[in-house]
């Protein structure tokens, strides 16, 4: 009987510890790292993929050889402040090259979901910054589209267009500046149609009718979030959009 009680107490303590650990993990932040700088936007002689290493807090070589257009993560980290140092990739000794982008004091809150993006300023200077990702539940039958302006360009107008079907769409997000983001809900399907009716994405310099991107069809699922990163430079012909889908964010 004493042995039985001892085993029961051990099991009880173990279950309490597991619960406490799970609760602590639920409060951590989730972080994506996005490489949004094409080599040819900096110089024609550079590798278009521009592989880089990412060092965190001067001690953890988080990413080795991350290439342009890649989205790494999500990484689960405790809330707090972090330093990110980005260098050209070194295959023999990762994270040992000189820092080319230094993003210091990047703060993450409990439960936050965010992207750290290496990108170009409007003046085409390499930089990095944090963007919050809203992954909360969406209305029934809708997706959330979040576009981050991280391209070497001035303010842009973002147009989501679906001219046909029972639920046509013509949505314009105007004057989004470099380093900012804009979001919208988009109905993803029509109950009267067998196939989903997908919108197109087009990006213009603000006030212009000459597109720098698109139109390109967006394939959207309901109750999902889509992180879109406008990157590159119209001047060098490298302007494009990196896409990341986050499925099943839930229904409001």
Q: Where are the domains of the chain?
A: 28-133, 137-252
Mean pLDDT calculated for residue range 214-236 = 94
Q: Which residue has the tokens 């994270």?
A: 95
Q: Residue 6: is its pLDDT beyond 50?
A: no
Q: What is the pLDDT of residue 199?
A: 87
- Beta pairing class for 29-35 and 113-120: parallel
Contact 36, 118 (CB under 8 A): yes
Could you give the angle at the alpha carbon of 62 between the alpha carbons of 60 and 64, nearest 5°?
120
- Asked: is 137-252 a CATH 2.60.40.1110 domain? The reply is yes
Predicted confidence (pLDDT) per residue in 127-145, tens digit? 999 999 999 999 998 999 9
- Beta pairing class for 126-132 and 113-120: antiparallel
Residues 6+ apart with CB under 8 A from 54: 33, 61, 62, 63, 66, 84, 85, 86, 95
Residue-wise DSSP of 51-117: -EEEEETTTEEEEEEE-TT-EEEEEEE-SEEEEEEEEE--SSSTT-SPEEEEEEEEEE-TT-EEEEE
Give the chain's mean pLDDT.
Answer: 86
Residues 6+ apart with CB under 8 A from 67: 35, 49, 50, 51
pTM: 0.85
Residue among 72, 31, 76 nearest 51 (CA): 72
Structure tokens at 40: 């040819």
Band of residue 248 on the pLDDT scale cut at 50, 70, 90: confident
Report which DSSP code applies to 188. -
Which residues are paired to 219 by β-bridges?
A: none
d(CA 190, CA 170): 16
Residue among 93, 70, 53 nearest 229 (CA): 70
Q: What is the pLDDT of residue 164?
A: 67
Q: Residue 9: is its pLDDT beyond 90?
A: no
Q: Which residue has the tokens 């919208």?
A: 184
Contact 36, 119 (CB under 8 A): yes
Class of the domain covering 28-133: mainly beta
Q: Residue 200: is its pLDDT beyond 50?
A: yes
Predicted confidence (pLDDT) per residue in 23-43, tens digit? 445 579 999 999 999 999 999
Q: Do domains 28-133 and 137-252 have the same CATH topology?
A: yes
Q: Residue 103: is its pLDDT beyond 80?
A: yes
């Amino acid at each position: 009987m004493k042995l039985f009680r001892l085993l029961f107490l051990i099991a009880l303590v173990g279950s309490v510890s597991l619960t406490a650990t799970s609760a602590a993990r639920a409060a951590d932040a989730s972080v994506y790292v996005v490489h949004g700088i094409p080599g040819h936007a900096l110089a024609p002689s550079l590798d278009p993929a521009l592989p880089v290493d990412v060092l965190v807090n001067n001690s953890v070589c988080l990413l080795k050889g991350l290439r342009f257009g890649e989205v790494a993560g999500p990484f689960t980290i405790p809330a707090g402040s972090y330093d990110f140092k980005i260098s050209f990739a070194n295959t023999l000794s990762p994270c040992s090259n000189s820092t080319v982008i230094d993003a210091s004091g990047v703060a993450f809150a409990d439960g936050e979901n965010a992207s750290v993006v290496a990108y170009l300023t409007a003046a085409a200077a390499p930089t990095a910054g944090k963007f919050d990702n809203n992954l909360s539940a969406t209305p029934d039958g809708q997706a959330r589209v979040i576009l981050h302006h991280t391209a070497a360009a001035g303010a842009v107008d973002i147009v989501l267009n679906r001219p046909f079907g029972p639920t046509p769409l013509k949505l314009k997000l105007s004057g989004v500046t470099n380093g900012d983001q804009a979001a919208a809900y988009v109905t993803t399907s029509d109950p009267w149609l067998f196939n989903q009716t997908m919108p197109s994405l087009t990006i213009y310099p603000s006030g212009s009718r000459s597109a720098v991107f698109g139109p390109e069809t967006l394939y959207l699922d309901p109750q999902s979030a889509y992180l879109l990163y406008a990157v590159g430079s119209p001047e060098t012909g490298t302007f494009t959009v990196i896409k990341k889908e986050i499925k099943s964010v839930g229904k409001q």
